[in-house]
Amino acid sequence: MQTATENKITLVEKPEGIEGAGFFATSLDKVVGMARKNSIWPLPFATSCCGIEFMATMGAHYDLARFGSERLSFSPRQADLLMVMGTIAKKMGPVLRQVYEQMAEPRWVLSVGACACSGGIFDTYSVLQGIDRIIPVDVYVPGCPPRPEQIIDGIMRIQHLVENESLRRRDSEEYKKMLNKYGIE
């Protein structure tokens, strides 16, 4: 007999493949993509008000755990998604970059809110005018602040990238060139 909890469990869809009696065949890329997509470990780099929206996103109502992301990592070495939320002062730039460099590949970056994406309303000498000046960004979430629904939309776009990324991308010349542009070896 199933319990109430068991009834609520939904399984992720299996990747495209060929199946028959007693077998299922697909590509390694697709299986790894499916696993990564549904077990993203985010590192929240929250410096100001957008971080509060993120806290709401983690709460029971919006419940980011539904996407396999309930395990937040405050250690860059055990995280694969860097979520930057808030105003990044130029003095904070090197710290953010160090955090990014300490993350192992594959890693993705979600820039949440106007401040992280472009400096927002703080067009001043002391504020970094967008984190993509120092690290590569995969998805931008606009808004000041963005609503939790927008943050979830950003996570789902990251999931789409994660699911469809080739296992060879991180070793490609194109990817290395892109990192080199940021001065990252």
Residues making contact with ligand SF4 (CB under 6 A): 48-50, 86-87, 113-115, 120, 144-145
Of 38 and 48, the one with the shorter C-beta distance to ligand SF4 is 48
In this complex, which beta carbon is closest to ligand SF4, that of residue 144 or of residue 167? 144
Count of alpha carbons within 13 angstroms of residue 68, beta-carbon side: 16
User: How far is 181 from 174, CA to CA, in rounded Å?
Assistant: 11
User: CB-wise, 44 or 86, nearer to ligand SF4?
Assistant: 86
Nearest residue to 79 via CA among 106, 115, 47 = 106
- Which of residues 64 and 162 has its CB atom nearest to ligand SF4 in the complex? 64
Q: Which residue has the tokens 């939790």?
A: 148
Q: Which helix (H) or strand (E) holds 81?
A: strand 81-85
Min separation Cβ 128 and ligand SF4, Å? 12
CB of 62 to ligand SF4, least distance (A): 17
Position 112, amino acid: V
The residues, ordered by sequence, that sit 6+ positions from 140 with a Cβ below 8 Å of its Cβ are: 111, 117, 154
CB of 52 vs ligand SF4, minimal distance in Å: 8
Quote the least distance from Cβ 51 to ligand SF4, whole Å.
Answer: 8
